[in-house]
Amino acid sequence: MKQNLITPQRSLNKEMEKWLNEQIVMEGKSSAYYLSMASWCETKGYNNSAEFLYKHSDEERGHMLKLFKYVNQAGGHALQPEIVDIKHTFKSLREVFEDVLKHEIQVTKSIHEIVDRCLTSKDFTTFNFLQWFVVEQREEETIARRALELFDIIGEDGVGLWTIDMEIGKLHGLDDVAPAHR
Ligand code: OFO
């Protein structure tokens, strides 16, 4: 019997699908990293930093899902990433936020590389889709830098760490500066 197979129209080339799936892995790792950091902070009594990182972890999962939907709607297949090698312990609260900034810089580079490939392969639809991520990364790097600055401005002695933790709890408020694209 002849089957009536419907082949979805692809607007995504195979290479772009692969790169976007690699970005899905990065966003999934971001979510897992921040969840692990949140848990460590909570066990150490840095409750505001923990809340900040739990929320950040949720946001990263949201970014991953945004990519899932885009890839599938464009005729590709988004793949659930394997997440391994997550760091569970940290030397200090400062190390947590140094790792956040390092990781965000890597994510920004990765997004920029895909944007560049969009231009060379004339995939303007994906280029347009990724602009949201370009703006998001700039904001996230700014927030991570602000968090690290707190350690230098306030200092870690005495009630310093307690104050830094309080101030980190307010950093998500910075999102309100440019919420339009969320
Ligand atoms: Fe996904 O926003 Fe940063 O990593």
The domain defined by 14-78+86-177 folds into Ferritin (1.20.1260)
Per-domain residue ranges for the chain?
A: 14-78+86-177
Atom of ligand 1 nearest to the CA of 140: 3
The pocket around ligand 1, CB under 6 angstroms, is made up of 27, 30, 60, 63, 104, 107, 136-137, 140
Say how many Å lie between the CA of residue 63 and the centre of ligand 1.
Answer: 7
The crossing angle, in degrees rounded to 10, of helices 124-154 and 160-169 is: 150
Q: Whose CA is nearest to atom 1 of ligand 1?
A: 60
pTM over 0.95: no
The residue to mutate among 25, 29, 140, having the most atoms of ligand 1 within 8 angstroms of its beta carbon, is 140
Decide: residue 27, CB within 10 A, 0-12 exposed, 13-18 middle, 19+ buried: buried
Q: What is the pLDDT along the chain (182 residues), one digit of tens a residue?
A: 555 555 556 789 999 999 999 999 999 999 999 999 999 999 999 999 999 999 999 999 999 999 999 999 999 999 999 999 999 999 999 999 999 999 999 999 999 999 999 999 999 999 999 999 999 999 999 999 999 999 999 999 989 999 999 999 998 765 544 444 44
